Structure formats: structure tokens, C-alpha cells
Amino acid sequence: MSATGSHEKPIVVVGAGVFGLSTALELCQRGYKNVTVLDRMLPPVPDGSSVDISRIVRYDYTDPFYMKLAREAVQSWRSGPFHPYYYNTGFVLTSEEKNDVYLEKLKSLLRSQGQAFKDFQTTEELIREFPHLKDVKQEFTGYINPNAGWADAAGAITALAARCSELGVSFITGPRGTVTSLRTDDSGVTGVNVASGPPLLSSNVILATGAWSNRYVDLTHAVSSSAQPVGFIQLTPEEAADISQMPVVINMTSGFFVFPPTPHTNVLKVARHSHGFDTSIEVNGRTISAPKRDVNNAASSYLPDDADEALREGLRQVLPKVADKPWVRRRLCWYTDTPQGNFVVDNHPSIKGLFIAIGGAGHGFKFLPVLGKYITDCFENKASAEMRERWKLEKGNQTTGPMVCNDGSRRGPARRLLTAQEQAKL
């Protein structure tokens, strides 16, 4: 255990996303008897980044550390307790550029690890492999990973939360579960203040609050929050059948990606993995980028006009027949970015008993089946030296501008601060 105490002492986990829930489950499986998860809403929390109908599951990383971890996660998705929520549709990484440096690096590592994939040099070759992509208009190069796909995020999170409850995790939501601030004294963390009722006391607090984290403790030198656009289109049964066997497709040049229609609902989801948007919010004398705390951020269907058009353009390239169908829902999905895309899983350097587990950087969800194991290893000081080094909370000077994730996967337009008029519509 990272802080002094036994398995009987209370542990408060703030945040019911994939980081918080997977950690709470693993703690219970290791014999901790008094674990409480706090959040504003019951999981799947509608404005979190671990929710809605789909998330990509793949092991395509240029970094051997994350490729190894993701291979373990994919194997668990395929055969473990969360397999009902996984769809092995295949994953296609495309680029509008010939000899894309990032894709070439990915293929080199996949090859060195003996992982199956198939190159294609033209869109015509891609269509031969996936006839349901027959209407693709853009000329692409890239490769196909047949051992990847997507997961029903909300379904998996619901199952994860249920398993936590079965093993004895307590959940507090609503105003009583809405953390307003940390409680600390000279000895370290003593608990959390909440929007309603007396504080919840604990000398072990795990902060798994994702994009909200900088509201509670100043981590702006290590993480920053950005919003990415997501859109949903209702297809007819006939439209869905026409593309039902398509893989997940991402255009690395623009960041646009699209899932196959969701079975039984025929909803098509599109999104962009890019540099995103910042907000400007004053918290305790600091200016940070973050979603709102006291409302459901997913309730607003607002997207900036340039983001909406980018999603439409992506559809025109890949699925032009449905590119102009109306949105049934739109939202901004909040990433917790780090400079190199590394997670931040570490003890706070100056607040004893405060443990940080954040930094999904838009790619954390796929690790759901194994993430809690490794976070808890860090919590108990049992993780490998490499993992502790990768996931350490960096110390250093505060940044003077928005942090940009430079893991190589981000393309598309530069990160942009939403105008005051745009922020008012969120």
C-alpha cells in the first residue's frame, strides 16, 4: 500500500471512469475492505471519456511498452470477462500521404513483434479486402490489423461497476459524491469536501478524475485537458446492412475515425483524434482548460463549426452516402493529455496519501481489462521500474501555454482555444 495503513482503512477513489473503477475492482480483489468510489453521476458517467457506444481496441503503438500492454489487454478483451462487449471487426489505419513516417514506424514494430497486418498501397486494394468500403472516395495508403476492433464502452463500464459493487465497493453519487476540494493538513491528505453534507475522511485518496483533475490539485505541468468532437448518425436498417461488415477506420492525416454501425441500434459514430480544443476557466486563481463540474457536459450538443465540418468531410471521404444525414447527437469528449501520451499513475510528491491515476490521453480505455492491475501495482509500490518511470508524475516548471501531446498519433488542425462565444454554448 502506498500510504501507511492496513487493508481495513478507508480508501476514497474520486472518479468512476475506467481508471477509477478498474483500480477499485483490483483493490477489492487484493483484499482491501473499505473502498468508496465518488462521482457526480452513476457510471457510465455520461460526460466522461470512458462512455458511449464504442471505443477502439487495438495494439498498434510505435512504443514497445504500450504495444506489449495493449496486446495483453486485447487478449483479455477476446477471452476474458469483458468479451461480450468486444467486436473484432478489424482496424484499418490509413493516411493520405505516401510513406507516412508514423505508419511506417508502426508497421516496423508490428513486424518485429510478429504481429499480423496487411499493407495496402491504394484505396482499390483496401476495397478488395473490405467490399463494404466500396464508396471510399479518398486515395489512401495504410494497413489492416485483423486482430483489433472496438468495444461497447458504456456496456463494459456498466459491467465493471457492477462487479465492483458485487465485491463490496461503495458508490456515492449526486451532490454527496461531487467532490469540491481535497482536505489536507501538515500530515497529508485527510479526505475530500463534497457539495452536500460533511466531508468524507480518509488518509488514502486516489484521484482518478481525468479532465477535471486540475480543478483539485495543480498538475498543469504534467497534464492538460482538451475536448475532441464526436458525432452520431442514425442509419436505416438498409444503410447499416450496407456497411455492417466494415472495420474501424482512422485517417491519420486528419485524425478522423469511424466505427461500424452499432448492432441492434444502427447508430454510426464518428470522431476525431487530434489536438482538440481548450477552454479557459478560473479555478483558485489559476486558469485551466477543463469541463464544467456541476453539470452534465454531454447534455450540450454543441460542436464548434470547424469541428462539425471536419467530421462531415471525413464522412465524405469514407462513407459519402451517409455524409449529409442529420446528427442525432453530438458532443465533446474530454481527453486528459500528457506530453508523450504516458499515463500519470504515481504518489503526489508533496501530499502524503494522495495517489494520482489519470492521463488517458485519448487511448486509455482499451486497457480496461488490465489497467487496474497495473495501477494497483503502482499504488502498492510493486510495479516494475520501467512502469514506474513511464507513469511517474513529472516534476518541473509550470507550462506557459497549452500542453500538446506529441506521441505521434495527433494530426489535423492545431489545438485551439474556444472563443468566449463558443464556450458559452457548452
pLDDT in tens, 108-118: 999 999 999 99
| Predicted local confidence at residue 129, as pLDDT | 97
> What Cα–Cα distance (Å) separates residue 151 from each residue in 89, 110, 148, 154?
10, 22, 10, 9
Q: What is the rounded CA–CA span in Å between residue 205 and residue 224? A: 21
pLDDT in tens, 163-219: 999 999 999 999 999 999 999 999 999 999 999 999 999 999 999 999 999 999 999
Residue in this structure with the C-alpha cell 504481429, named with its chain if needed:
115
> Of the given ranges (118-122, 288-292, 407-411, 422-426), which has the lowest mean pLDDT?
407-411
Percent of the chain predicted with pLDDT > 70: 97
Residue in this structure with the C-alpha cell 459519402, named with its chain if needed:
320
Give 238's contacts (C-beta < 8 A, 6+ positions apart).
Answer: none
> Are β-strands 267-272 and 224-234 bridged in parallel, bridged antiparallel, or unpaired?
antiparallel
Q: How many CA atoms lie within 13 A of 276 on its CB side?
A: 28
- pLDDT of residue 336 exceeding 60, the answer is yes
- pLDDT of residue 416 exceeding 80, the answer is yes
| Predicted local confidence at residue 177, as pLDDT | 98
Cis bond before residue 44 (omega within 30° of 0): yes
Q: What is the rounded CA–CA span in Å between residue 142 and residue 171? A: 45
For residues 383 and 374, the answer to whether their CB atoms sit within 8 Å is: yes
Ordered alpha helix ranges (H), 101-140: 101-112, 123-129
Range 11-390 classified under CATH 3.50.50.60: yes
pLDDT in tens, 5-59: 579 999 999 999 999 999 999 999 999 999 999 999 999 999 999 999 999 999 9
Confidence label for 4 from pLDDT (cuts 50, 70 and 90): very low
Query: What angle is formed at CA 12 by the lines to CA 170 and CA 9, rounded to 5 degrees?
Result: 90
- pLDDT of residue 3 exceeding 70, the answer is no
Q: What is the rounded CA–CA span in Å between residue 346 and residue 336? A: 16
Residue in this structure with the C-alpha cell 485518496, named with its chain if needed:
205
- pLDDT of residue 348 exceeding 60, the answer is yes
DSSP for 340-384, please give it.
TS--EEEE-SSSTTEEEEE--TT--GGGHHHHHHHHHHHHTT-S-
Identify which of 18, 106, 119 has the alpha carbon closest to the alpha carbon of residue 62.
106
pLDDT in tens, 258-311: 999 999 999 999 999 999 999 999 999 999 999 999 999 999 999 999 999 999
pLDDT in tens, 51-84: 999 999 999 999 999 999 999 999 999 999 999 9
> Running DSSP on this structure, what letter comes out for residue 173?
-
More reliable by pLDDT, 253 or 395: 253
Task: Label residues 47-72 b or e (16+ Cβ within 10 Å = b).
Answer: bbbbbbbbbbbbbbbbbeebbebbbb
Global confidence as pTM: 0.96
Q: What is the rounded CA–CA span in Å between residue 57 and residue 250? A: 12
Residues 341-370, mean pLDDT to the nearest whole number? 97
Mean pLDDT (the chain) is: 95
